Amino acid sequence: MSRTDEQAELAAIVRSLLDRRADRAAVRTAMTSDKGFDEGLWQTLCEQIGVAALAIPESHGGVGASLAETCVVLEELGRSLAPSPLLPTALAAAALLAARDPDGLLARIAGGEVATLATPDHVLFGAQAQIVLAYVDGRLTQVDETPVRVSAMDPTVQLSTLRQIVDPLPDGVRDVALVLTAALQVGGMQRALDDTVAYSLQRVQFGRPIGSFQALKHRMADMLVKLELSRSAMLHGVDGLIDAAPDAPARAAVAAAYCTEAFNDLAGEMIQLHGGIAITWEHDAHLVLKRAHALGTLWGQPHTPRARLAL
């Protein structure tokens, strides 16, 4: 379940780009823009790295990699907190692959067009998407209606709604959604831990960095344990989907349930261990907390995948 050398190189390339193009100021500019994300960054990610094309077969104009590589990129995006339509675009591509792409839309997605897959409750980046898909009467179809953008608790995750009644995601596609979201959650947890450790080495109390206090070391160690268990659960879920394992739905449910609760826990610890600074708008801690809550409710509360495990 560890990364291959190629995946580690992909992560390093994406991280280097995001470090340059998605710093704190850039994230705030993007999330408050008309589009809700940095179109220039998205274009660069698609044209230079091919992030939208990773899990699309070469026969459809894609890279021919897998969901594992997509999750590598999502994890880095989660770490940066950059608003990005990769999650809904990758999910729409997975739905089209399962439906054998009847309308030939995969090539457009591989070329960088933003796509999304509507649910009865929300449409991720729907107002920004060139391709809006939904399940209607059990069939995947392209939606003509333009989704209407609505305000969301997390300004880095853009939401829209449709008037049209659509079906819930089928189980197989929902499993993909859970695992892709878990990758974003793992990246957010890494950000929470990294920022907290860095702050603990800078903040001085009683003449010592607070990171030297044993009680705080224990709390940050607990954060690391939850992060690594979350990453393992996510990678196990990815492998299950790629291999079409019989227990793939169970693996996806475990990843969703564990990563959701762990991310909420780490975001809360980040707030606490940063003290009063973490409640200011200028600091990123509130964005981490909002991202944790937003991603944790996209596909239902943690008890929803647990209920699937109990069947």
Q: Which CA distances in Å does 46 have to 161, 179, 256, 288?
A: 26, 21, 27, 25
The answer to whether residue 293 is domain-embedded is yes
Whether the Cβ atoms of residue 41 and residue 99 lie closer than 8 Å to each other: no
29 and 97 within one domain: yes
Q: Calculate what percentage of the chain has a pLDDT beyond 70.
A: 99
The answer to whether residue 88 is domain-embedded is yes
Range of the domain at 100: 5-161
Region 34-38 average pLDDT: 95
Of 129, 103, 104, 127, the C-alpha closest to 114 is 129
The answer to whether residue 194 is domain-embedded is yes
Q: What angle do CA 205, 211, 215 make, to 5 degrees?
A: 95
Whether the Cβ atoms of residue 157 and residue 291 lie closer than 8 Å to each other: yes
Q: From CA 251, how far away is CA 247, in angstroms rounded? A: 6
**Residue showing tokens 């596909």:** 299
pLDDT at 235 over 80: yes
196 and 244 within one domain: yes
125 and 55 within one domain: yes
186 and 132 within one domain: no
Region 36-46 average pLDDT: 97
Whether the Cβ atoms of residue 84 and residue 157 lie closer than 8 Å to each other: no
What CATH number is given to the structural domain containing 88?
Answer: 1.10.540.10
Q: Which of 127, 142, 161 is the last residue of a domain?
A: 161
pLDDT attached to residue 303: 78
What's this model's pTM, rounded to 2 decimal places?
Answer: 0.96
What CATH number is given to the structural domain containing 306?
Answer: 1.20.140.10
φ, ψ at 161 (rounded to 5°): -130, 160
Q: From CA 109, how far away is CA 173, in angstroms rounded? A: 17
Of 276, 74, 81, 104, the C-alpha closest to 179 is 74
The answer to whether residue 75 is domain-embedded is yes
The answer to whether residue 61 is domain-embedded is yes
The answer to whether residue 166 is domain-embedded is no
Whether the Cβ atoms of residue 22 and residue 41 lie closer than 8 Å to each other: yes
280 and 200 within one domain: yes
177 and 97 within one domain: no
129 and 190 within one domain: no
The answer to whether residue 301 is domain-embedded is yes
Whole-number mean pLDDT of the chain? Answer: 95
Region 111-119 average pLDDT: 97
pLDDT tens column, 251-306 = 999 999 999 999 999 999 999 999 878 778 889 999 999 999 999 999 987 777 87
183 and 156 within one domain: no
Q: In the chain, how many domains are there?
A: 2
Q: Which of 128, 161, 194 is the last residue of a domain?
A: 161
Three-class SS of residue 142? strand
155 and 111 within one domain: yes
The answer to whether residue 32 is domain-embedded is yes
145 and 14 within one domain: yes
153 and 17 within one domain: yes
Contacts of 192 (CB under 8 A, 6+ apart): 223, 263, 266, 267, 269, 270, 288
Of 274, 268, 264, the C-alpha closest to 301 is 264
155 and 234 within one domain: no
φ, ψ at 150 (rounded to 5°): -125, 160
Q: How confident is the model at residue 311 (pLDDT cuts 50, 70, 90)?
A: low
Q: Which of 120, 139, 161 is the last residue of a domain?
A: 161
Whether the Cβ atoms of residue 309 and residue 301 lie closer than 8 Å to each other: no
pLDDT tens column, 125-144 = 999 999 999 999 999 999 99
pLDDT tens column, 50-84 = 999 999 999 999 999 999 999 999 999 999 999 99
